């Protein structure tokens, strides 16, 4: 896991296969939610939820905790 300071998001990179993967985790989702609140944006969205965990450390839970 690497961290992109500009995008404020984690990523993975394989030098062997030249594969780059960026994704959101609870930290990046919290930061994006805080940004939306600070800028007075009308809301936030995410593309797809079915791969999120059902546990308390889910991305959706991170959003709810940040909004409260």
- Please tell me the pTM assigned to this model: 0.84
What per-residue confidence (pLDDT) applies to 64?
A: 94
Q: What is the dihedral of CA 32, 36, 39, 42, to 10 degrees?
A: 160
Averaged pLDDT for residues 1-26: 95
In this prediction, residue 38 carries a pLDDT of: 97
Contact 1, 12 (CB under 8 A): yes
Residue 58, judged by CB atoms within 10 A of its CB (0-12, 13-18, 19+), counts as: middle
Q: What is the C-alpha separation between 10 and 67, in angstroms, rounded?
A: 22
Q: What is the tens place of the pLDDT at every residue in 35-66? A: 999 999 999 998 888 989 998 899 999 999 99
């Amino acid at each position: 896991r690497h961290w992109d300071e500009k995008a404020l998001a984690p990523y993975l990179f394989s030098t062997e296969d030249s594969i780059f993967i960026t994704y959101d985790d609870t930290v990046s989702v919290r930061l994006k939610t805080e940004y939306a609140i600070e800028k007075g944006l009308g809301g936030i969205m995410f593309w797809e939820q079915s791969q999120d965990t059902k546990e308390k450390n889910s991305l959706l839970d991170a959003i709810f905790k940040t909004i409260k």
